[in-house]
């Protein structure tokens, strides 16, 4: 039973740290965010003002790839199930981030905002919980 608890703890911590890494980039670059959400498919996430970052490649790269840094946790002890959760969560969870990044940069700049807003509309249909953020 102890191994299952370590795996669950690693899973929860990896999910939280993954999203906090996104949040650090959002706050650092002063991207206004509208809400914190939990959806059926993407777990925890943030709805942000797409126009503030969508055409800045540096921010796009940091926003979508910085959580992959947590994959390095497994280097500490590759046989530890707790630490194994960090690369698993961030690779599989990061797959959506990577898809979003490559899809976005493949579009011309004038189409990016339109596509991102349509993606947000799809996400809004699968929300389980939403906390609006005021005063941004």
Which tens digit of pLDDT belongs to each residue from 26-69?
Answer: 999 999 988 999 888 767 888 899 988 999 999 999 999 999 99
Cβ–Cβ < 8 Å for 11, 89: yes
- Interval 63-84 mean pLDDT: 92
pTM of the model: 0.88
Cβ–Cβ < 8 Å for 86, 10: yes
CA distance 30 to 95: 25
């Amino acid at each position: 039973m102890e191994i299952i608890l370590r795996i669950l703890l690693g899973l929860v911590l990896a999910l939280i740290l993954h999203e906090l890494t996104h949040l650090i980039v959002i706050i650092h670059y002063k991207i206004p965010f509208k809400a914190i959400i939990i959806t059926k498919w993407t777990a925890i996430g943030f709805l942000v003002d797409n126009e503030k970052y969508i055409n800045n490649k540096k921010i796009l790269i940091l926003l979508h790839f910085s959580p992959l840094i947590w994959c390095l946790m497994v280097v500490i002890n590759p046989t530890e199930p707790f630490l194994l959760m960090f690369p698993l969560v961030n690779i599989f969870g990061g797959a959506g981030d990577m898809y979003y990044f490559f899809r976005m940069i493949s579009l011309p700049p004038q189409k990016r905002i339109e596509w991102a807003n349509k993606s947000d509309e799809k996400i809004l249909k699968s929300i389980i919980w939403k906390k609006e953020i005021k005063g941004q």
